Amino acid sequence: MFSLTKKIIKHQGIGCMSWAEFYGSPIDDIQVLSLVKLAIENGVNFFDTADVYGYGVNEEQLGSAISKIMGQGISTREEIVLATKCGIIREKDDPSKRGVDNSYDYVMNKCNQSLSRLGPDIGYIDLFYLHRVNKDQLEDSMKAMAVLLDEGKILSVGLSEASIDVIEKANSLLKEYTQGKHQISALQTELSLMSKQALSNGLLDFCRDNDISFVAYSPLCRALLTGEIENIDDLGSDDFRRSLPRFQKENIKDNLKLLDAVKSIACDKSCTTAQVALAWVKSIGAIAIPGTTKENNLLSNIQSLAINLTDDEIHLLSNIGSAKGYRYTEAAMRAYGFDDEI
């Protein structure tokens, strides 16, 4: 059985989304190559992308960089763990359009398209997620995943932002369709000191008890936990965070106040608040995939793995309040089925 925790060298990955869009302008291929190389040279071999990041551009960026790294003999394909996702409908001509499709044909087609964008040297996807889950299409999507596993196009299956009952159902379907050879390998969900739903709703415990790796996206709360964004006007005009409730004027000041406890621990340990935030994610057993476009931030994030928090510090951090404001715009929350948080 595929084990993400065993395949990754360090207990951290890299979220590649911002290389293509969302947090400002895309970075170029040379910068992507430098980041991928630096990550691998420092033991981070787990890369997370999705078909919708840059409408496919992010998969092309990542595939091309890994291919070059392999060509330079820095890494073999087997040493890389590449995750991508499908299931979110996005249209370039109509950015407001959002939806979820997990139908059999959609999942099969999207996997083939991702493989083609990643390129022939990549050849297969280590971890293929449903980016958002439509529980009414679970039979369909798990059937498609079983075929993709059998064909060797993917090595394991993950879900993103799924509830316990959905994971349980998907798990039993996948086991049934693969004659017990596979189960859901990973759950990816937003988790950070400012987004702790997975602790209160039991998801983190459920994953640990069922051998499902928990992958924490936006572990820095999209940079709020770095303390470097103090004001919505610090963000560029094309930055997607300008639309997010947590960055709005009425919320951001209160959200930054949550950093006081983090700052005090960072000061004691002579490290940054971002490093404390990542150390906390690790301390509760989740694999953080911070996103960065900068080599010094990448190194700093990897260095956070050496920080050990005491039980008292973990307790204190686990009990700081959650951020004010929904995680996405209200329309997106509804489109993604996050109604329980509204």
Distance between CA atoms of 189 and 279, rounded to whole angstroms? 17
User: Are 101 and 111 in contact, with CB atoms under 8 Å apart?
Assistant: no
Angle at 95 between CA 82 and CA 105, to 5 degrees: 55
Looking at the Cβ atoms of 140 and 190, the one nearer to ligand ATR is 190
Number of H helices, E strands in the chain: 14, 10
Looking at the Cβ atoms of 156 and 304, the one nearer to ligand ATR is 304
Residue 23 is a catalytic residue: no
User: Are 106 and 148 in contact, with CB atoms under 8 Å apart?
Assistant: no
Sheet holding 213-217, edge to edge: 14-15, 46-48, 81-86, 127-130, 157-160, 184-190, 213-217, 287-288
How much is the CA Rg of the chain, to the nearest whole Å? 19
Nearest to 261 by CA among 204, 201, 309, 298: 309
Token pair, residue 172, equals 């039993």
Q: How far is the CB of 241 from ligand ATR (least distance, A)?
A: 8
User: Are 122 and 67 in contact, with CB atoms under 8 Å apart?
Assistant: yes
Looking at the Cβ atoms of 174 and 277, the one nearer to ligand ATR is 277
Residue indicated by tokens 């109509």: 94
Residues within the interface to ligand ATR (CB under 6 A) = 15, 17-18, 23, 217-223, 226, 228, 274, 290-294, 297, 300-301
Q: Which of 23, 53, 217, 328 is catalytic?
A: 53
The percent helix, strand, coil of the chain (3-state, each to 5) is 50, 15, 35
Q: Name beta bridge partners: 130.
A: 86, 159
Distance between CA atoms of 160 and 189, rounded to whole angstroms? 6
Looking at the Cβ atoms of 138 and 274, the one nearer to ligand ATR is 274
Residue nearest to ligand ATR according to CB distances in the complex: 291
Looking at the Cβ atoms of 46 and 106, the one nearer to ligand ATR is 46
Q: How far is the CB of 246 from ligand ATR (least distance, A)?
A: 11
3-state secondary structure of 82: strand
Nearest to 50 by CA among 21, 10, 80, 93: 21
Q: How far is the CB of 305 from ligand ATR (least distance, A)?
A: 13
Looking at the Cβ atoms of 69 and 281, the one nearer to ligand ATR is 281
Q: How far is the CB of 27 from ligand ATR (least distance, A)?
A: 8
Looking at the Cβ atoms of 148 and 274, the one nearer to ligand ATR is 274
Active site residues: 53
